[in-house]
């Protein structure tokens, strides 16, 4: 992947922390000049998700083939035979359009990007006010089975231990304030030489 002068902005968090809402807010601020990195996944489509908009939905076999061909900036087997990753071609597509790249990505993937591009990356960890509130948010979505919710809560407890490895932590206990803080962080990072 060609190194570019574009910046990389990583938002990572356990499921139900509000990172997707924050990222969507930032994308609506056109003056930031950011483009959304669509992740690839081998999981099934949920709810109203669309291929090529929310994710690139590909089979586990195709995902493994792309790993072997070194087509990913980062990837992870998040759950058994359930892969997520960032295609190099996706980052290059956004950079070619003259924009900075913003990621809505899991914790391990976010840290991998930060390690690969330490000077180009702002890594933000969005933390829920508590595990209980996060679990309540997951239940209110009504998109996951009870088994999936239990799995996500257990994963969140592990992910919270990585918060200190990020450049900054935003505790999402007031969405409007967190959106403003995220905007300020991203804006300042983009302006930095």
- Cβ burial of 126 (10 Å; 0-12, 13-18, 19+) is buried
Residue 3 has pLDDT above 60, yes or no: no
First and final C-alpha spacing in the chain: 22
Compute the distance between CA of residue 143 and CA of residue 132 in angstroms, rounded to an integer: 18
Each residue's pLDDT tens digit, 13-25: 887 788 999 999 9
- The CATH superfamily assigned to 8-191 is P-loop containing nucleotide triphosphate hydrolases (3.40.50.300)
β-strands 34-36, 100-105: how paired? parallel
Compute the distance between CA of residue 102 and CA of residue 149 in angstroms, rounded to an integer: 26
Each residue's pLDDT tens digit, 39-60: 999 998 988 899 999 899 999 9
What are the boundaries of each domain within the chain? 8-191
Q: What is the pTM of this model?
A: 0.86
């Amino acid at each position: 992947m060609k190194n570019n002068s574009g910046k990389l902005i990583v938002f990572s968090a356990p499921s139900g922390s509000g990172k997707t809402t924050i990222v969507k807010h930032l994308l609506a601020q056109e003056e930031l000049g950011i483009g959304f990195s669509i992740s690839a996944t081998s999981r099934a489509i949920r709810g109203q998700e669309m291929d090529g908009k929310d994710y690139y939905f590909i089979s586990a076999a195709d995902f493994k083939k792309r790993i072997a061909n070194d087509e990913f900036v980062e990837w992870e087997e998040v759950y058994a035979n359930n892969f997520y990753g960032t295609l190099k071609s996706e980052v290059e597509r956004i950079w070619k359009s003259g924009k900075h790249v913003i990621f809505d990505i899991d914790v391990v993937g976010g840290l991998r990007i930060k390690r690969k591009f330490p000077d180009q990356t702002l890594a933000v960890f969005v933390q829920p006010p508590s595990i209980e509130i996060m679990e309540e948010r997951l239940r209110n979505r009504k998109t996951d089975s009870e088994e999936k919710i239990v799995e996500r809560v257990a994963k969140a407890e592990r992910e919270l231990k990585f918060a200190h490895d990020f450049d900054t932590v935003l505790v999402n206990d007031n969405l409007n304030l967190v959106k403003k803080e995220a905007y300020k962080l991203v804006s300042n990072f983009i302006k930095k030489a």
